[in-house]
Amino acid sequence: MKKGYLVLESGDIFEGMMVGSQSEAYGEVVFNTSMTGYQEIITDPSYAGQFVTFCYPLIGNYGINSFDDESDRPALSGVILSDLCLTPSHYLSMKTIGEYLDAYDVPCLFGIDTRTLVKKIREQGTMKGVLTTNPEASIPSLDVNLVEKVSTKSIQEYGDSGPLVILIDYGHKKSIVQSLVKEGCKVLVVPFTTTFKQIQSLHPDGVVLSNGPGNPMTLAPLFPEIKKITETYPTLGICLGHQLIALVNGGRTRKMRFGHRGGNHPVKELDTGKVLVTAQNHGYVVDDTSINTDVFSVTYRHVNDSTIEGMRHKHLPIETVQFHPEAHPGPSDTHYVFKRFVEMIKQTGGMHHATAN
């Protein structure tokens, strides 16, 4: 454990103590407001290329267990927090958060004033930074394809029987797979570059476009394939998947000033007027003015800023949500989205692919 620094592109420097990797790391500095669920957040592939600042002051008090990981290893660039608990207390705890991050060579800066840092991000927007033991460190350019970094390299199979759902992996959380299996589906997780023809050869009953990191426009070369896939099979888009469906249908996305990241975001279901509490993690949003209302209806809106949180195609079995219905970590108000998707597959006969070209 030694002295460490967060150097921001604004020139601000935060000094604290460093555990985990001691080598220099670069990333976009974001914050998450969740009070619990730090293990799920640290292992969510959507945080690839980012430093996650935890707003909750004490992190690590229940340790790390063996089953709450959302992926095989952390994809984030680093962790920033106020008070690091080195003596966790929980009967399932296997190791401390410091030991866990150390094992994967992820740097963790703690002992800084996270309130000041979060305030700065809220005022100036997310910005690049470096976690380092050298306060003179400079920040390089960070433009990389983050999806490529976290997507599966080979097909993975889950579940035994039921409708066959292809999950296109842009950086999926394992809770999405578990939710689909729980609803009686067989799931094949496939690489993000999988083509329409390759998906046709698997004869699925439905397709899910997963969550994932980064700017959805970096995937523009894949848009023609994604469009063919979504027009042929019942489709559910989650988070990045929601943004991709908007983009391939002529919509636009824009970067938010500091994004939605936390476990208590209120979302209004426009059909019913109900407000649901949701888990979210995104820095981009679908631009309101770009949606073709002859093709899509908006189904959900964020209560705080009215941004689009979901869409439904008016003619095809396509639905999208910006929030995380698998809710790990977070409330399970919106788990029914998976049930509705499975119903949609059944209503289209589970053989929608028979109409494929």
DSSP string computed for 263-300: EEEEEEETTT--EEEEEEEEEEEE-GGG--TTTEEEEE
- Angle subtended at Cα 211 by Cα 167 and Cα 28, rounded to the nearest 5 degrees: 145
Domains in the chain: boundaries: 2-132, 146-355
Q: What is the pLDDT of residue 357?
A: 38
Give the DSSP H/E element, type plus range, for residue 338.
helix 336-347
Q: Work out the angle at residue 143's Cα, subtended by the Cα atoms of residues 140 and 149, and round it to the nearest 5 degrees.
A: 115
**Rounded-to-integer distance, Cα 294 and Cα 280, Å:** 28
CATH class of 2-132: alpha beta
DSSP string, 146-195: HHHHHS-SS-EEE-SSSSEEEEEESS--HHHHHHHHHTT-EEEEEETT--
Please report the pLDDT score of residue 350 as a whole number.
55
Q: Looking at residue 351, what is its pLDDT?
A: 46
Any idea which residue has 């998906």 for tokens?
A: 199
Q: Which two tokens stand for residue 152?
A: 């599966």
Structurally, at CATH architecture level, domain 146-355 sits in 3-Layer(aba) Sandwich (3.40)
Strand order in the sheet with 206-209: 156-158, 186-191, 164-169, 206-209, 235-238, 318-321, 308-313, 296-302, 253-269, 275-286
| DSSP 8-state secondary structure symbol assigned to residue 112 | S
First CA to last CA distance, the chain: 60
Cis peptide leading into residue 329 (ω within 30°): yes
Q: How far apart are CA 281 and CA 212, in angstroms?
A: 9
Q: What is the pLDDT of residues 85-119, one digit of tens each?
A: 999 999 999 999 999 999 999 999 999 999 999 99
Q: Which of 292, 287, 282 is nearest to 249 (CA)?
A: 292
**In tens digits, what is the pLDDT along the chain, a chain of 357 residues?**
899 999 999 999 999 999 988 889 999 999 999 999 999 999 999 999 999 999 999 999 999 999 999 999 999 999 999 999 999 999 999 999 999 999 999 999 999 999 999 999 999 999 999 999 999 998 887 767 899 999 999 999 999 989 999 999 999 999 999 999 999 999 999 999 999 999 999 999 999 999 999 999 999 999 999 999 999 999 999 999 999 999 999 999 999 999 999 999 999 999 999 999 999 999 999 999 999 999 999 999 999 999 999 999 999 999 999 999 987 877 788 889 999 999 999 998 754 443 433
List Cα–Cα distances, 55 to 120, 150, 244, in angstroms: 13, 25, 29
Tokens 């997780």: give the residue: 189
pLDDT for res 170: 98
Q: What are the residue numbers of the active site?
A: 239, 324, 326
| Angle, vertex CA 146, rays to CA 59 and CA 267, nearest 5 | 60
What interhelical angle do 174-182 and 336-347 show, nearest 10?
Answer: 60
- Classified as helix, coil or strand, 29 is strand
